[in-house]
Structure formats: structure tokens, C-alpha cells
Chains A and B, each alone.
Chain A
């Protein structure tokens, strides 16, 4: 309550984002569907953040950190709730192949890139630092943007099937990304002096304690909610209480709130009896949580220090473009390899098939979780680079120009 301006700003943003005028604008301008919502708020976050107007300086950012933690935990729960037995069973073999391929190649490239960078810049860095760096790069490489409606509107069965595969694959890879990046984050922590200590053994111990705590909270919450007979007020109370404890547990043990949230969400999703009120509460808050995360990411991100000079800026731009181009080349290639036998039932040539080129918005949320633990500013810079790559990959999705898709007369269910 010490800085009313912060709350006023956050309040007005939420109110404006949820207003009818903004909803109307989103429907009117197609570009808003691609770059609207989260991206607009990210831009606004950059504008009011410490690197632009400066309404939110670093001290004020620290004051709102509990909210960021709760938002990140909530985002983890949204991802974790997707772990439902019937969803996982329904995933076709081809999609498993695609997910496996993306995971393998993504991780391989991340480890190689981390090794190379560490060898060039910090040859004497410990192995745990490589793990942390690999986990960070994995957040860039794994997964894709699940949204494909903005790319085309073909409604014939193969195209719809393609869109569903894109969405399901993105969901599963989101889980993998959170797990991989959170495990990497656990390899280091800040000690009493504020310096980073790389200790994978200690990290694993902390992770084990984190898991125990999550199990206790998830089991308790599940039992209480089972007894609550879908009571709205009690569901809200348990959710808020669990969110607070889970985010506190994650930060206390140097872990990612996304992982504790994901595990909690998975416990709810895999529950034999469905907790519909809780699931509805979690899913209804999804747009607000994503918007909030993007807003805070906008305030946190920073461009690499090297980009202040012209040559440095050009170099950063070239790296960003190169990484986006790598996505443009590799992601369709992996998709073609994985779905080569499904060409008749899945429209690989549809516009929805280009969705994997775009970087997953989750990358930004994962890096925001990294930034909470990092006081050196490197995570902030990586967040800046991730944003640039995401924007570049969106632009590259439309290059070369997509064919105009024929509109089928009726929607075919998959």
C-alpha cells in the first residue's frame, strides 16, 4: 500500500483490458488477434517499466513481486490441469512422435548451444551453470504457439485435425518446457550474500522438499474440495490459499512457481472425481493471468547491454533473426518428419501448420520466473531477447506469403 500509483496503474489496466471497447477493437482489427491481448499489455509494461517512462522503478517492481509469484503459480496450474488421463490417452501416435522429436532436437540444440557459449565466454564455469543455461535455452527451443485461428479459417476435416494437433502438441510441450526449465533452475540458488551458488545436489534436495510440500497442499486441497460440494466461496478460498502457499514454497526453495503450480494442477486434473468449480475458476482466469504475466514481463525485460551501440544492436538483431529463421526452417521440417504418414488425414499444407513456427508465449512466462530469482539482470536481458524472437517468428510465419484458404461450407468434427 506504500505506492498507490502502482495499484492505480494495475487497476486501470485490468479495467481497460476487460472493457467492452477493447473487446470490440479486438474483433474489428484482425491484427489484434495476432498481436492483441498479451502482446499489447507487454508493450504497455515496457512503456511504464523502468526502462521507458519509469512509473514502475525497480523498487516498486519488488513491491508487486508477490502478485507476479501468484500469477506464475496460476499459469502453472492452468498448464498442469491439462494432464487429464483421457486427454493423454486420446493423443495419436503421430503426435507423440512429433512431441518426442521436438523435445529431442530442442534439448540437443539447447545443450550444444549452452556448451558452446559457456566454452567461449566462461571456460571455467561449473557444470551446474551449463545445466542452468541449457534449461534457459530449452525454454526458447521447445514448443510453439498453440493458437492457429488467426492464421487461416479452413474448416475441412484435415485442416481442423491439423489445428487440433498443433494445439494438443503445444499443450504437451508446455508441460515439458516447464519441467525442463524448472529442473534447470533448481541447480543454482542465491545464498545469504546474494551470490549464485551452483549446487545440483542441494537443488535436488530442495526440489524433493518442494515436491513433498506440493503433495501435501494438493492432497489437502483435493480432499477439502471434494467435501465442499462445488461450493463457490470455498473453492475460491482454497484456490487462493493454495496459490499463496505454492508460490511461497517455490520461491523459498529457489524453484519455479510454474512447476509447483503445474504439479498442483496435475493433481487436480488427474483426480478421479472432477472438480468442475475449481476447473472453471482456473480456466476462467486464464486470459487475465496470461495478460498479467505479459504485463509484468514487459516491465521486467531489458535489451542486452551490447545493443546500446550500433554494431552491438545489429549483432543482437542478427542473432534474433538467425534464431527466428532457425525456427522457420526446423519446426516445419520436424512436423513433416513426424506427420509424413498422416498426409491424407492431416492437412500439412494448411495455414494452421505454420503455427509451430511462432515461439510459444510460455517462453516469456518461463523467463519471467527465471528473472524473479536472478538479481544480476541476465534473465531480464534473456527475456528481452525472447520477446524479440517471438515477434520475429510471428513475422516469419507470414513469409513466404500464405495461400488463400478456401472456406469449406461446414465444420467437420474431429
Chain B
């Protein structure tokens, strides 16, 4: 046997990490963080609860990044998508689970510390948007425009009608049912792009799912704004919904397009330190969106798509670097999303949460399958396309938060949003698993 082939065999035989080693590493990591915090508290006399300085922030960030990656790898061993592991890791370290179990002191991250991760979460959301935008294949969208539109219309209309009906029966309020139904129709671009990046060679099916999700979410954000405005005019709300519509949609898209030109010029001037450039662009988007009250995800999505289309050569290394940073970004974003999950609310409202989620699932399945069959997609796609629209995450949560902003004093808004967040949480956990099965079952069409 010659040397190179022996080396190849050696490489193949090299053992990959088993589930037990990954679990041990995860336990070691959590133990290490606890040891450091306790050790410091013993030496300096500062109680663990009072440690909130720069060292504590970096320690927690390290825990979130490495821990959620290990958890993602761990669940991969049982054929689940890494996102599920990252979300579950977030649930375990976050305050929601331990508060529900009446053991708040066992949470590794407190509510205050979770709030301090908000900046990192926003950055992660923007990075996901940038990568998602760059992944949208313009030619595929043009080719499959009919399929995208029909699938989006099919499932959105059915979800709105069925979920709306159930919500009306439960809440006995047309306004609440309308908000609930529109929120249920949204799905997650972040999850789609994360699962797409997980595949070494994304199939045209995966790209179709992403394009449909992005298109649908853009339309739904507009629809949600209109619903919110309509409700605001009937109920006595703060009434800045029109401002919100214009800024959030038109403003986000315009800002994203406007940023593409300076980005192109900057990329022509800068030849090194691309990691820094990507981070700076992400930070700038967050700042501009905070100042102009626009949506960071939509802005980043638009910028990613425009820059990739307008300057494919100049932006190539920029997006390559963004994709390299995508893994840590996903770890932060999904672990933080998991840490935000309110397990108490999920358990307390489980009958209505289960009912709404099941109805939503059924409506997505029926609407998508009918539309896919009508446009003549290949049969594996027809069978599995629905599973790509079950996940919910960032954009759904952001829209839910807008209800609380628009109706800060109304008690119905608070209870409605608790139920909706519980539904989103359930779809957040179940959705990626279903989507991954779909992506695996549908081969690349010739």
C-alpha cells in the first residue's frame, strides 16, 4: 500500500466524536463556567449574582457559542438538526425552564444577563439576513416565480382562515383572531438559511423553500402591519402603526438597497481584514436600523441580495467571510432564542397552543401540497414542501413584540402574546426537525 492511500485510510478511520464524548465535553464546559464563577466569588468575596462585568459577559458569550455548538453536534448524533440542539441548550441555560421548576438559582444566565446579550443577538440576526439575502438565487426566483407565488398564497390563505377561525372561537374577538392568524402564517428565514448552509450543496428544492419563505415573510410583515393598524384604529391604541408600516417595510428595503452602493465602493477599496469589515457592516446595519426604527432582518436581507446581484465579484470575499462566521452566529442566535423561551407559559396554555399549532400544521400541509401540485412540481417536492414552512423564529417573535409596543396597556394584548409566543416556541422546536427531514427526502432534481 503506498503512502497517500494509507493516509487516506487512516483519515477515514479516525474516530469522530461520539455522543458520550460530546455530552462529557458539554458537562465539562458548564462545570468550568460554574467553577470559575464560584472560585472568583470565593476569592474576591463578590457574590455570583453580582458578577456582571466585562469578564462575566465574555465568559457567558463563550459558554453560549461553544455550548450550543456542542449541543448541536450532540443532537446530530440522533439525526436531529443542530438548530434543535442549540435551542434546547438555550432552554437549559436560560431562566425560563428553571423559573418554571421553581429553581431560578440553577439558571446559568439570568434575565439581566440575557438582556446584555441583546446586542449580540441583533448582530447575529443581521448576519443571518446578509447570508440569507446572498443565498437567494435571482434566476431561480424568476424561473419559479409562479410556484413561489402560488405556494405562498395557498398556505397563507388557508392558515389565516383556519387558525383565525379557531382563534376567534377561543378569544371571542375578531381583532385578536386577526393578529393571531397573521402571526401564525409567518415562518422563519433564519432557520431556512441555517439548514441550507448545513447542506454542502444546497438543492434547488432548498433554494425554492428559502425564496418562498423570504417572499412570504416580506408580504406578511406588510399584512401584519395593516392588521395592526386596523386593530389600532378600532381599539384605543397608541396609533403609530402607519409610521411603523412605512418605516418597517419601505424603509427597510430602501435602506438595504441604499447601503449596497457604499458597500460596493468600500469593498473595492478594502483588500484585507474582511472579518472586521463584515462585523462593521453588521454593526452599522444594527445602528442605522435602531436610529431609523427599521427592521434589521429585512434591511440585511435586501442588502445581501442587492450586493450579491449588483456586485457579484466585489462582494464575493465579503459573503465568503460572512458564511465563515455563520456557524458562531447561528450558535449565538438560536441559543439566545432558546434562553428566551418561557416554559411556564408553554405549559400553562398547552391546550390552545397545541390546538393552534396543529391547525397551522394542517393548513400549511394542505395549502402547500395543493399549490405545489397545481404548479406541477416533481412529486417528492409536492410530498415534502410543506415541512419547510413549519419553523418559526426571529421575525415571528419580532412581530409579536410589535403588538406589545402598539398596545402597551391592554391586558388582552399581553395574554394573546403569551399564547402566540408559546406557539412560536413549539414551532421553533418542531419545525427544524421536519424541515431537515424534508431536505433529506427530496433529492436534487435533474
Interface residues of A (CB under 8 A from B): 1, 4, 7-8, 10-12, 14-15, 17-21, 23, 62, 65-66, 68-70, 189-192, 202, 205-206, 209, 213, 216-217, 220, 224, 227, 229, 232-234, 236-238, 240-254, 285, 287-288, 372
Instruction: Tell me if B65 is interfacial: C-beta within 8 Å of chain A.
Output: yes
Determine the chain A residues whose CB is within 8 A of the CB of B275 once the complex forms: 285, 288
A233: which of B53, B273, B327 is its contact (CB, 8 Å)? Answer: B327
Residues of B within 8 A of A (CB): 11, 14, 16-17, 25, 28-29, 32-33, 35-37, 39-40, 43-46, 50-51, 53-63, 65-66, 69, 118-119, 122, 266, 269-273, 275-277, 280, 283-284, 286-287, 290-291, 323-328, 331
Q: Which of B55, B60, B119 has the most CB of A within 10 A?
A: B55
Neighbouring B residues of A62 by C-beta, 8 Å: 54
Contact B28 A209, beta carbon cutoff 8 Å: no
B122 touches A1 (CB 8 A): yes
Which residue from chain A places its CB closest to the CB of B67 in the assembled complex? A241
B118 and A1 form a contact (CB under 8 A):
yes
Is A213 in contact with B331, judged by CB distance below 8 angstroms?
A: no
Residue in chain A with minimal CB distance to B28: A216
| Cβ-defined contact, A238 with B283, below 8 A | no
Taking a contact as CB atoms under 8 Å apart, the answer to whether A205 and B55 are in contact is no
Contact with B55, one of A18, A69, A213, A227 (Cβ below 8 angstroms) = A69
Known: A217-B32, A236-B328, A240-B65. Is A1-B286 also a contact (CB below 8 A)? yes
Give 7 CB contacts A-B under 8 Å. Answer: A1-B118, A7-B284, A21-B269, A191-B44, A229-B11, A233-B327, A237-B65
Residues of chain A lying within 8 A (CB to CB) of residue B54: 62, 65-66, 68-69, 251, 372
Residues of B within 8 A of A227 (CB): 14, 16-17
Please state if B66 and A252 are interface contacts (CB–CB under 8 Å): no
Pick the residue among A18, A189, A205, A209 that contacts B276 (CB under 8 A).
A18
Q: Are A249 and B36 in contact (CB under 8 A)?
A: yes
Q: Bound complex: CA of A238 vs CA of B290, how far in Å?
A: 30
Contacts of A241 in B (CB 8 A): 62, 65-66, 69, 328
The answer to whether B25 touches A15 (Cβ under 8 A) is no
Grouping DSSP codes into helix (H, G, I), strand (E, B) and loop, the A interface class, with mixed when no group exceeds half, is helix
- Chain B neighbourhood of A7, CB < 8 A: 283-284, 287
Cα-based distance from A220 to B73 in the complex (angstroms):
14
Q: Contacts A7-B287, A191-B45, A237-B65; is A216 near B32 (CB within 8 Å)?
A: yes
User: Bound state CA distance, A248 and B25, in angstroms?
Assistant: 19
A236 to B, closest residue via Cβ:
B324
Q: Are B43 and A254 in contact (CB under 8 A)?
A: yes
Known: A8-B283, A21-B269. 20 other contacts (CB 8 A): A10-B280, A15-B266, A15-B277, A18-B277, A23-B271, A65-B54, A66-B58, A191-B46, A217-B32, A220-B29, A232-B324, A233-B324, A233-B325, A234-B327, A236-B327, A236-B328, A242-B62, A243-B62, A287-B273, A288-B273
Q: Is the CB of B266 within 8 A of A245?
A: no
Q: Interface of chain B, helix or strand or loop or mixed?
A: helix
Residues of B contacting A12 with CB < 8 Å?
280
The answer for the CA separation of A251 and B14 in the assembled complex, in Å, is 37
| CB < 8 Å neighbour of B58 from A8, A69, A238 | A69
Contacts of A248 in B (CB 8 A): 36, 55-62
| B55 CB to nearest A CB, Å | 3
Interface centre among B43, B51, B290, by most A CB within 10 Å? B43
Contact partners of A229 in chain B: CB under 8 A: 11
Cα of A20 to Cα of B267 in the assembled complex, Å: 10
> Shortest beta-carbon distance, B262 to chain A, in Å?
11
Given the complex of chains A and B, what is the CA–CA distance between A150 and B260 in angstroms?
40
Least Cβ distance of B392 to chain A in Å?
25
A229 to B15, CA, bound (A): 12
Distance (Å) between the CB of A411 and the closest chain B CB? 26
With A227-B17, A241-B65, A247-B55 as contacts: A11 and B324 at CB distance below 8 Å: no
Cα A62 to Cα B55 with chains together (Å) = 11
Picked from A15, A205, A237, the residue with its CB within 8 Å of the CB of B328 is A237
> Closest B-chain residue to A206, C-beta based?
B43
B11 CB contacts on chain A under 8 angstroms: 229
In the complex, are the beta carbons of B119 and A1 less than 8 A apart? yes
Q: How far apart sit A247 and B62, CA to CA, in the bound complex (Å)? A: 9
Q: Are A11 and B328 CB-contacts (below 8 A) given A244-B59, A245-B62, A245-B63?
A: no
Which of A18, A21, A205, A234 counts the most chain B CB atoms within 10 A?
A18
Residue of B63, B272, B286 near A18 (CB, 8 A) is: B272
| B272 nearest in chain A by CB position | A18
